Chains A and B, each alone.
Chain A
Amino acid sequence: MNENLHASAEKLIAQERIEGISQSEREWLATHLRECPSCTQVAQQTSAALSALRGLPIPLPRGLAARTQFRVQLRAQEMREREPKRRLLWIMCAMSWALGIATAPYVWRAFEWAGERIGMPKLVWEMGFGLWWTIPALVAAAVVVLENLRQAHERDQAR
């Protein structure tokens, strides 16, 4: 029998299990398998391997689910306790932004006045004004980054 036919049959045997094959391919394969003992053996070996894989027992560690549930509950409690702090941080940040927007014209004039008074170049006091605006966001970002680093450290220690 043509070697190409065996190669095609073997490909279809795998394809049937991995992706599925068309009706005509299935019929061709069935006809080929009736006539070809070696490909029939490949099909049987493949079925046996998959059947063994599907029925494979894995011993589950005793109490794994209970231990995990306990850890998850502890972590959930920890997160709940931290939530108000985090919320307060965002509220303060939002208030700071609102206040910043409301007072922006006055702060601008104050920076302008101070800049002229001490003879500072315009670009420098304008940059100072920009920095003034970003301070709340920078503080909030620093708090979040530090918090995340601390959590990662705790996780590493727990592992």
Chain B
Amino acid sequence: MADDNKALALGLKRRDPDLLDQLIEQYQYRLFRYLLYLTSSRERAEDFFQETWIRVLERGHQYDSKYKFEAWLFRIARNLVIDWQRAKKMQSLDALTDPEEGAPMEFAAQNQPSPLHLVLTAEEKSGVHASLDRIPTVYREVLVLRFQEELGLEEIAGVLAAPLSTVKSRLYRGLEALRGAMQGGAA
């Protein structure tokens, strides 16, 4: 694993085109899924997906082989979303904080169905997709990173650039919110 990461870091430093092609193939689903949950928009997720890989190319030399590649990748993707959001002056990234501390990051307009909701099939809308769509992005993000991407708590803290205690607290609240939302959907 450590050797694999070292080889990966070396390849990224050299901007090895074959390695980049392979990484794009390998992580396309996971990265796109993460971006989709983060942005709630298929088009934006696609844009950020491409931009993320451009950043990986440009900043490959910054990858530290001590850490999982996917954690670094998600962090780049997240920072791009944050930069875009800041540029649009919608909310600061710290709005990706607890809803108690400020409004959660949501790209969808308040009174309209979110783009995530619009891309779902009718069947999906009645299930876990709809439940996820109902919970704040800050919780959705950590749930996706923990239970879909199976990152460790410290890795998630690295992606979010947040303290471990914040990650845990969001996970507990997120899990409760997901369970509640799924119960609400089922009722």
Roughly how many angstroms separate A61 CA and B49 CA in the complex, as a whole number? 11
CB contact under 8 A between A76 and B153, given known A53-B147, A58-B33: no
Any chain A CB within 8 A of the CB of B146? yes
Interface size for A (C-beta < 8 A) is 32
Report the minimum CB–CB distance from A130 to chain B (whole Å).
34
Any chain B CB within 8 A of the CB of A134? no
B118 cross-chain contacts in A, Cβ below 8 A: none
- Whether the Cβ atoms of A75 and B32 lie closer than 8 Å is no
- Give the one of A50, A59, A68, A155 with max B CB within 10 A: A68
- Say whether chain A's binding surface is mostly helix, strand, loop, or mixed: helix
Roughly how many angstroms separate A80 CA and B36 CA in the complex, as a whole number? 32
A45 cross-chain contacts in B, Cβ below 8 A: 179, 182-183
- Whether the Cβ atoms of B25 and A65 lie closer than 8 Å is yes
Any chain B CB within 8 A of the CB of A118? no
Any chain A CB within 8 A of the CB of B20? yes
- Whether the Cβ atoms of B57 and A72 lie closer than 8 Å is yes
Any chain B CB within 8 A of the CB of A71? yes
Roughly how many angstroms separate A124 CA and B178 CA in the complex, as a whole number? 69
CB contact under 8 A between A19 and B168, given known A60-B32, A69-B20: yes
Which B-chain residue is minimally distant from A46 (CB atoms)? Answer: B179
A75 cross-chain contacts in B, Cβ below 8 A: 54, 57-58
- Whether the Cβ atoms of B148 and A68 lie closer than 8 Å is no
A-B contact count (CB 8 A): 100
Any chain A CB within 8 A of the CB of B47? yes
B20 cross-chain contacts in A, Cβ below 8 A: 69, 72, 76
Query: A69-95 interface mask toward B, CB cutoff 8 Å, 1 = contact, 0 = none?
Result: 101110110010000000000000000
Report the minimum CB–CB distance from A64 to chain B (whole Å).
6
Query: B130-141 interface mask toward A, CB cutoff 8 Å, 1 = contact, 0 = none?
Result: 011000000000
Roughly how many angstroms separate A70 CA and B94 CA in the complex, as a whole number? 34
- Whether the Cβ atoms of A58 and B127 lie closer than 8 Å is no
Any chain B CB within 8 A of the CB of A48? yes
A56 cross-chain contacts in B, Cβ below 8 A: 128-129, 132, 148
> B residues engaging A (CB < 8 A)?
15, 17, 20-21, 24-25, 28-29, 32-33, 36, 42, 46-47, 49-51, 53-54, 56-58, 119, 124, 127-129, 131-132, 143-144, 146-148, 153, 168, 171-172, 175-176, 178-179, 182-183
> A residues engaging B (CB < 8 A)?
14, 17-19, 42, 45-46, 48-50, 52-54, 56-61, 64-65, 67-69, 71-73, 75-76, 79, 155, 159
6 A–B pairs (Cβ distance < 8 Å), ordered by A: A18-B146, A50-B178, A64-B46, A71-B53, A72-B17, A155-B51
